[in-house]
Chains A and B, each alone.
Chain A
Amino acid sequence: NAGVMQNPRHLVRRRGQEARLRCSPMKGHSHVYWYRQLPEEGLKFMVYLQKENIIDESGMPKERFSAEFPKEGPSILRIQQVVRGDSAAYFCASSPPTRETQYFGPGTRLLVL
């Protein structure tokens, strides 16, 4: 059973561009979570999704950030008009229906120039 997959692993964008980060959960997992790790900071929760539904987006910035988890395909975290402060590692985690624990992917390191 492959682990949580994220791509790209590294992403470089210029200010004002869009960034799309993808997360494929483990097989059989229908719950996805996104976290952000800013330099010298701990991981911060951003959003929790089930298939086709956003359950908790209390950690998402109000503007420029959006997330989806369609019926088919990976979960997408989208950042519009990126700024330098968006540079961070973005981690995705997934959990099975029991939701007892979250399994983390390797992360996407976003660098905004």
Chain B
Amino acid sequence: KQEVTQIPAALSVPEGENLVLNCSFTDSAIYNLQWFRQDPGKGLTSLLLIQSSQREQTSGRLNASLDKSSGRSTLYIAASQPGDSATYLCAVRGGGSEKLVFGKGTKLTVNP
């Protein structure tokens, strides 16, 4: 059974810092891994999707890496801004399955 863990559960940083969010999963037989952003009371916004054959994806100030063999992914946020404050969710889709398995998220606060 796939389990996804995100560390830390919460993170508070001053504006301008570079930061790393961590995601680990127990079953390396994945189809893809996705990072989402969730704002309070809102839905999920997809940030980056990494296929199992890929090592990383980049979008603007965001970079996500995937090490399938060790069951880890990281989301790197450069030059953080107060608008980046949100909960970041990592989700894994297993091979042969349509469902996404989510971690509990990392709640990020970027202080001005």
Contact = CB atoms under 8 A, between A and B. Distances in A.
Interface of A: 4, 31, 33, 35, 40-45, 48, 55-56, 58-59, 91, 99-107, 109
Contact of A48 (B49, B99, B101): B99
B99 A45 contact: yes
Contacts of B98: 31, 33, 48, 55-56, 99
Contact of A45 (B36, B49, B89, B100): B100
Interface in B35-51: 36, 41-46, 49
A14 to B, nearest CB: 23
Given A43-B100, A104-B44, 15 more contacts: A4-B43, A33-B98, A33-B99, A40-B104, A45-B99, A48-B98, A56-B97, A56-B99, A100-B32, A101-B34, A101-B49, A102-B100, A104-B36, A104-B43, A104-B46
11 contacts: A33-B99, A33-B100, A42-B104, A42-B105, A45-B101, A56-B97, A56-B98, A91-B44, A104-B36, A104-B46, A106-B42
Interface residues of B, number: 22
A64 B31 CA distance: 32
Chain B CB within 10 A, most for which of A4, A55, A58, A107 = A107
